[in-house]
Every structure is written in structure tokens, then in C-alpha cells.
Structure 1
Amino acid sequence: MLYKLWRTFLKEILLLKRDIGGIVIIFVMPLLLIVTITLIQDSTFKNLEGTRIPIIFIDNDRSEVSKSIRQELEKSKSFELKTQFTEASARNAVFSGEYQMAIVIPENLTNALNTTIDTKVQKIVSSFGLETDAATHQIPSVQTKEIHLYFDPAINSGFRNSVMSAVNKMVFEIENKKIYKAFQEQLGTTENLEENKNLIAFKEITPPRNNGEAIPNSVQHNVPAWTLFAIFFIVVPLSINLVKEKSQGTSVRVRISPTPYYIHILGKTFTYLIICVIQFLLMVAVGIYLFPYMDLPAFDVSGKMFPLMIVTLAAGLAAIGFGVLLGTIADTQEQSAPFGATSVVVLAAVGGIWVPVFLMPEFMQHIARFSPMNWGLNAYYDIILRNSGISSIATELILLILFYLVMVSLSIIYERKLHRV
């Protein structure tokens, strides 16, 4: 039995050696993809973090509030303020796509805000019976001032919402300080305003690791994601080889030989499992050794190689099972190759390789749960980002292995029915 399995293994190696295109697909293409996609995503992330975005800032108020808003924008180190514009020219520049946004501060914004706050504070103080000299003077109401925000119509909605939230937060903090200062003046208190900090603060807490914090980055996403894509892309050469065996008569010799058909499947399984492991090790090597030379974060797998290897083997089994079923059902290479490549891309898109699952519509998030790539990706994430062990990813491992068993079982059943005499 072992000898038959060994001979089947050697046969698969010979088939792969003759298929140069298949070897390129299996090994070279995933390496090019992981380097290219990681560089693109990391560059995008650095642009958002380190490069100032030029925006138009028009200050028609030229007083306390507008100066505070400008200081906060410059302090954020995210924007480069352009000021040599009128509101009309700024609108044209933004709507034409030359700039992404413009902020226009209206005239007399500070005076209007001070007047409105003084009026409201005096009314509140008076309602408590604390009459002041200023309360005896009637201050006319002032029309609400509007800060105009112009956005390029082609701009991302997430960027628009984040900027609007940031401006609202700045204005809210300025109003709060002015209200507090107005109460101080009305009540005659001398408490230092700078000592009054926010009562509620936010602190981001991520899983601890080596006395530090494990913060996900582009490398930690792309290495496991594109490893899975590479593993599942073996569906293409595997299914093609099965179709070749049919056309060349090899499958007939297998059926009439004393070797059971499942031994033939096991030989393919062991061969392509080795390929999956090699793919994984190449991806990890790129993440550890090459990425630091490309100004990318290094891929840290210290203490995690064993569980990562287990996930790789389980994902490899799922991919092999799918390839075996496709190669068994397909009659020609023209059927197996396009369908195999397309199905892998669809599984990758649905499984969160291209777009994170949480960004998908709700019904797509439910569909993603049925993608074997999503099972593998979640298992990788649990190990890399959440420091989980084998027990924590048992569900994903079981699903991947069951997927392999179901696919292979269907292949054997189909093969028996197809050649039943």
C-alpha cells in the first residue's frame, strides 16, 4: 500500500515538472501578488498617516474662533492649508477636483458666538436669582453662523465623514470653553480653565504581546490572505492534471490497476500538501526577510509557526478537495482552467481576501461564512493577531477538513457512477 502511494506521489511530481506554466502559477504569481499588493496598501496607509493633504482654508473671521480652528487643523499634521483663495474660487477649485476640500469661516463668527453664549449664560444666571450688572442690558439675538465645507464630489464618503466629525469636535470644544469662561465671568470665579479636562477619555487596548501591543498592519493582513489565495490557486493545475489523465488514458489504467482509486487521490493530496507548505514558507520568508528591505513592517511569527502550519495544512486539504472535484467533473481543460480560476477569485472576494468582511453588506457577511477561504483567514487572524492556540481555531480547522472530505467523497461517488458498467 505504501509503495503504491509512493509511486502515485512520484507520478504527480513528474506531471508538475512537465507543466512549467502550472509551476509559475503555483509559486511565482503569489509572490508577485503579495509584494505588489502589500506595497500598494502600505503606501496608502502611510499617505493617510504621514503626508499632509492640501485643503483650502478661508478665514473671513480673523479672530479667536477661526484662529483656534486653524491651529487645531495644523496641529493634526494631516492637512496643508492653502489660504490664497476667495470662497468662489475655492468652490470652483474643489468642484473641479483640483483640491479635495475647502473650509470657509464666516465673518464675525467669534463675535456672534460670544454674543450668543453671553445671552444664554445671563438668562441661566438670572433664573437662579443671581442678577449681575451685565444682565440688566438686553443683548440682541444673533443669527447662527455657518462654517461652509466644500468637498470634491469624487471624494470618499469615509474621508468626508471623518473631516466633518473632526470639525464638529473642534467647534464643540471651543464652544464649551467659551461657555465655561462666560460662567466664570458672570459668577466671579477664578478657577483655572486649563485644569478642567475631559471627564471621559478613550484608550485603545489591543491584545498584549511581549510587553507591547499587537497592532495589525498591512503585512499581517496580506501574508495570510495571499497565502490562502496561493493555496487555493492550486485548484487550477490540479484540475488540469486530472483532465489530462482522462484525455491521455492514464485514468483508464488507474481504474483497471489493482490500486484503489482513493490511493490515487491520496497521492495527489500528499503531493499538493507539500506544495502548499512550500508556498506558505515562501510567503513567510518574504514577510520576514524581504519586506524590511522594502520599508515595510516585518512579519513576526515567533512562537506561532506550529499553529500556522496546522492551518496551512487544513486550508491545503480544502483546496485539494475542491480541485479534485473540479478535475473529476470537468471533461476538458477549457472547462477546468477558467472555472477553477474564476471560482477561486470569487471565493477570495467573498471570503475577505480582497475586501474585509465587516465592510461588506450584511447579507454578504452571512454568505462569507460559507467560504473556506474565510475559515482559513479567520484561523490565521486568530493566531497572528489574537495570539490564539489550536483549541481556539478548532472550529475552522474542522470545517476545512470536512470540506476536503466532502469534496473527495463526491469525486469518488461521481467517478464510480460515471464508469459503472
Structure 2
Amino acid sequence: MTIRKEFLLLIRDFGGLAILFVMPVFLVITVTLIQNNTYENITNQKMEILLVDLDRGEIANKLVSEVKSSGTFKFINTLDNNPLTEQTAKEAVRKGQYQLAIVIPKHLSSSLTERIDGNVNRVLAHFVDGDTLSTTTPFTPKEVKLYFDPALQTSFKEGIKGAIDKIVATIENKTIYSAFASQLSESDEPQELFTQENLISFKEIAPKDEEYNKIPNAVQHNVPAWSLFAIFFIIVPLSMNIVKEKNQGTNIRLYTMPTSPIITLGGKVITYLVICLLQFYLIILVGKFVFPLIGLASFEFSSNLLGLTVVTLFSGLAAVSLGVLLGTIAKTQEQSSPFGATFVVILAAVSGVWVPTFAMPSFMQYIAKVSPMNWALEGYYTILLRDGGIWQTRYMIILLLLFSLLILLIALFYDKKKRSL
């Protein structure tokens, strides 16, 4: 009967049902679309860059050619059918019309060629002719200016600078090879003396079982993360219902019944655990069947459903226990609702739902390790992304269980203490 009572309270609360079911679906769709489009913009689409080439020499042309061949950037040389100048490019970036402008200085090619040829001749004279290795005159590096949009994130800036720096290093090496080859070879094709090739390559491997070859994507990360956010948001309606019962005197009538308060508490826990499972199944069904209809990858869980269900049960138990504690302590709905919502948002922020824990400061990483939402999130990731099973998530499940029991005991003790007064 307590379970039936809780379900009736939920069914009659349309706002609570919207928070529990409609809000999570919109949230996971919106966040996944945004992140998926961001990944595609970075990896699949070319970024438009303003180019002001004041050199127009061989090395500058090589730089432009290498950047174009990378497939990451697209150069723009004119604005409004007028040739770009440094000032117009700078102004366009400042206004946010473009994220980056590159200004290649005058005499870049001639200065670098002259410097490289001088160094090559000096080295060859030392090793071939036996001359004393002379000292070099100081050289002021040529300054290639990069104008970034002030609103661009630092991590994105560093990524772009790293990509351009790699291209520049490749051009420098090729130029030095060519200079040595032209001095040492007497053939018409001096570049054949040195084979300009990549000596090291990188292969990206996710350490998984050999038979497990699924590639993690934004969907695999976001569905469990934001499902967990929705599950913990159950704190809000649960705590509000408990406060409502106290204010209306319903809890006093329940206490006069010839049964233990644990029965009443058990009814709430079971009811809201079922709600947590329904939330999770709804979101994974959306990920499985709705995501492909809007251009996203399908959420794959295949044979992992049992493990995901177990993690969800213990995650829901942790969320329900927090809701019970908040509802027991709070005196009004005005206290429970804002505090519960704010608490869940903060918990999601420090647990790795919004920002990966490895990107947090050291002290925040320690805080994340004591967060029940982080334990649950690690459980989901272990099953979905690390090819684990229920046994591999046992530590997270044990932590969630102990946390839930501790919070429920605190709530029962506080409630009994308050009634005895």
C-alpha cells in the first residue's frame, strides 16, 4: 500500500513527471547533438583561416601548401572582394567573424633560405674541407603572427598552434634536407640524395579485448552520463513529497499505524527505484532508436543490459537515499526544491559528468573520488567503454551500497530523534 501511495502521488504530479522523464530526454538529446557537432567541426570540417601573405616566397608557398594538404584548414585571402591586409584581418578576428588570422612576414623565404644555406656551407666546410667550424652570427627568428578570436578557448588555441607548429617543423626539415642535397649531389635531381620520409608513425589503440572493436563516441559517453544526472535529479520530487507529507500531517497518520517506519521508507525506496530504472530504459531507448533519426550514432549496449541495470539500481538507491535525507531535514518545499536541484548540479559538475575528472585540478579530482555520482559513472564507463562486466564494477557497487545504507540510517536516526523531541 505504501508503494501504491507513492505511485499515486507521482502520477498526480505532472510537473514532477516532467522533471523525471521529459527533461532528461531533452537534455541528453541536446547535449549529445552539441558535442557531436563540435567533434565533427573539429575533425571533419575545415576551419576557415584568414591568410595575409606578405612574403610570397618559396617557403611561404610551402607553408600554405602544407596547411592546405592537412585537410584541417581553409585559407581565405580576400574579404568583400578586397585583398586582405594585416589590419583588416585583425579587425575581422576581433569582431568574431573568424577564429584565426595568420600573417606571414616579408622576406621570410629569403631570410630563412640565406640562413639555412649559410649553416649548411659552414658545416660542409668543416667536415669536407677540414676548416675550423666557425661561429654563427645571431639570428632573429622571423615572426609569423597568429591573431586569435578573444572568445576562443585556450585548449583550442593550443591545438591549432600545435598543428601549425608541426607543419612549420616539417617545412624546416625539408628545406634543410634540400640544402644539403643540393650541395652534395652533382646530379640534376639532388633531392634524391635524401629520402624525405616519416620515420615514426602513430597508431591509436584503445586497450580492449581483441574481439571488442567498438569505437567510443559522444553517444556512448553522454547517454550514461546524463542518464545518471536524471536519476539523481529524483532527489527533487522525492524530497518535496516527503516535506509535503510532513506539512499536511500525513506522516503523523502513518506513524500511528501498527507498522514500522521502515515499511513506509521501504515503499518510497522501491517506488523511486522503479522510476530510476524507467528513466534509464527510456533514455537508452531514445539513444538506440531516436538518435539515428536525427543524425547521431545509435547507442549500443547489446549484451551489457544486465550490468547496466545493476549499476542503475545501486545508483538509484544512492539518489533515493539522498532524497530521503533531504526531505527528512527540510522543513518546507522552498527549502528542499532549490537545494536539491542545486546540489545535483554541483554533484554532476564535480563528478565528471560535465568535465572529465582528469582535466580537473588535483584537489577537485580527490573530491570527485568521494562522489557517489562519480562511482556510478565509472561503473557505466567500465561496462560500456572498457568492455567490463558486473564483476569489474563490484567496487563501485559496494561503495554505492554502503553510501546508501549510511545515508538512510542517518535519515532514520534524524527522523526518530526529531519525533522523540
Shift of 1:10: 1.4
In structure 1, what residue type is equivalent to 2:122? K
Q: Name structure 2 gaps, 5 residues minimum.
A: 78-82
Shift of 1:147: 1.5
Query: Secondary structure, in 3 states, of the residue corresponding to 2:286?
Result: helix
- Spell out, residue by residue over 1:155-196, the C-alpha distance to the aligned partner (whole angstroms, 9 max, x if none): 221222122222221121111112122222333386736744
Q: In the alignment, residue 99 of structure 1 is paired with which amino acid?
A: Y
- Give CA-to-partner distance per residue, 1:359-386, whole Å, 9 cap, x none: 2222222211122111111111111111
Separation in structure 1 between the aligned mates of residue 140 and residue 51 of structure 2, nearest angstrom: 23
Cα 1:193/1:59, change in 2 over 3 Å: farther
Q: Report what 1:206 is aligned to.
A: 206
**Secondary structure class of the residue paired with 1:58:** strand
How far apart are residue 212 of structure 1 and its match?
6.5
Relative to structure 1, the CA distance from residue 212 to residue 382 in structure 2 (aligned partners, 3 Å threshold; closer, same or farther) is: closer
Identity of aligned residues (%): 48
Q: Which amino acid aligns with 1:32?
A: F
**Equivalent pair of 2:351/2:373 in contact (CA under 8 Å):** yes
Contact 1:207–1:214 under 8 Å retained in 2: no
In 1, Cα distance between equivalents of 2:37 and 2:304: 27
Question: Of the candidates 59, 63, 69, which is equivalent to residue 63 of structure 2?
Answer: 69
The answer for the alignment partner of 2:417 in structure 1 is 417
Seen in structure 2, the aligned counterparts of structure 1 residues 191 and 150 have a Cα distance that, compared at 3 Å, is closer
Determine helix, strand or coil for the equivalent of 1:107. Answer: coil
Q: Which moved more, 1:229-238 or 1:99-108?
A: 99-108
Letter of the structure 2 residue corresponding to residue 119 of structure 1 = G
Structure 1 residues 168-177 or 178-187, which shifts more? 178-187
Residue 276 of structure 1 aligns with which residue?
276
SS at match of 1:304: helix
Q: Deviations over 1:263-315 (max 9, x none)?
A: 21111111111111111100000000000000001100011111111110010
The residue type paired with residue 349 of structure 1 is A
Q: Secondary structure at the match of 2:202?
A: coil
Query: Where do 1:175-214 residues align within 5 Å?
Result: 175-188=172-185, 192=192, 195-208=195-208, 213-214=213-214
Q: Within 5 Å, give how 1:13-412 maps onto structure 2.
A: 13-83=7-77, 84-130=83-129, 143-188=140-185, 192=192, 195-208=195-208, 213-412=213-412
- Indicate conservation of the 8 Å contact 1:317/1:404, yes or no: yes
CA gap of 1:140–1:351, structure 2 versus 1, over 3 A, is closer
The 1-side partners of 2:95 and 2:65 are apart by 27
Q: C-alpha distance in 2, partners of 1:241/1:362?
A: 38
RMSD: 2.3
The structure-2 alpha-carbon separation of the partners of 1:415 and 1:56, relative to structure 1 and needing over 3 Å to count, comes to same
Preserved CA contact (<8 Å) 2:219 2:298: yes
Shift of 1:16: 1.4
Please, which runs of 5 or more residues in structure 1 have no aligned partner? 1-6
Q: What is the rounded CA distance, in whole Å, between the counterparts of 1:80 and 1:282 in structure 2?
A: 42
Change over 3 Å in CA distance of 1:254–1:50 after alignment to 2: same
Which secondary structure does the structure 1 equivalent of 2:147 belong to? strand
* Aligned residue-pair number: 411
Q: Which residue of 2 aligns with 1:3?
A: none
Q: TM-score, normalised by structure 2?
A: 0.91
Q: Partners in 2 of 1:268 and 1:37 — Cα distance?
A: 31
Q: What is the distance in 1 between the residues matched to 2:46 and 2:273?
A: 47
Further displaced range: 80-89 or 282-291: 80-89
Q: TM-score, normalised by structure 1?
A: 0.91
